[in-house]
Amino acid sequence: TNPDSKTIYFDEWIDGAHFIFLGSEMGGNGLYAYLSDEQLNWFREKLAEKRDENRPIYVFLHQGLIDTVAGTYEYQGWHGIDPVEFWKEVCADLGLTDVACVHGRAEEFAAILKDYPEVILFSGHSHWEMNSASNMKERDENLPTIFNTASVAYLWSDAQATIEGAQGYFVKVYKDKVLVLGRDFDNEQWLASAQYLVQYGSESPVEPEKPDSSVSPEPQPTTPTTEQTNTASDAASPTT
């Protein structure tokens, strides 16, 4: 969190790049994120601030948007935008089930994202490992690029089993592309199925660099200035 912020949500501009951090405003059972109207309106305003459609906006939310990446599918039970305990009574008064309430707020959040295809959204919460199917959602006409961020505490698999381990990303930003490189921190190895490219200014994707598995890279961020296209590809096919 930002110690200077009076709310759990805040944003930062770093070397011309915009980082927006969202968060649940109520504890509840921790499964769902409560995003108030005030927060969503603030989010809209921040997305529009100094907007350059050729420059990515980095958005972070602990809970994931339903049915987008590993760990967010409804049958997996870890998707998470509304409702917390507070909303159950409200949902009942509206004649809606908990799931309907989840979908209602999630649809509003998704509608905001649809207007900003340059966004790259990172979310975790489920601890789903990066070797899972659908670890990354490619940008399309409805949603921007979305990544599952796994966890550095413990991991969860498609087989519904706990795995010991710690995974995360190195994100390297260039003028024409963003590399999102999955890393196994415990074993100090790159995850071959989680090496991704979000490209700018070209009709054809290029292969991401092949990092030396024995050396931890130092990200060298620069501000993207060229036009983002609808391309994001894996350096290796994900396993299922």
The β-bridge partners of 232 are 198
pLDDT digits (tens, 9 = 90+) for 71-87: 777 777 666 665 444 45
Is residue 10's pLDDT more than 70? yes
Q: 3-7, 23-27, 101-105, 161-165: which has the minimum mean pLDDT?
A: 101-105
Statement: residue 210 has pLDDT above 60: no
| pLDDT on residue 168 | 94
Least confident of 93-102, 145-154, 166-175: 93-102
Closest C-alpha among 236, 238, 169, 171 to residue 198: 171
Residue 120 has pLDDT above 90, yes or no: yes
Name the pairing type of β-strands 145-148 and 136-137: antiparallel
Q: Which of 197, 216, 198 lies closest to 208, judged by CA? A: 197
Q: What is the mean pLDDT of residues 151-171?
A: 88
In angstroms, the CA 123 to CA 125 distance is 7
Helices 98-114 & 85-93 angle (0-180, nearest 10): 100
Which helix (H) or strand (E) element contains residue 207? none
Confidence at 207, pLDDT banded by 50, 70, 90: very low
Q: Which pLDDT does position 33 carry in this prediction?
A: 76
Of 15, 14, 34, 31, the C-alpha closest to 23 is: 34
User: How far is residue 125's CA from residue 76's CA, in Å, rounded to a whole number?
Assistant: 12
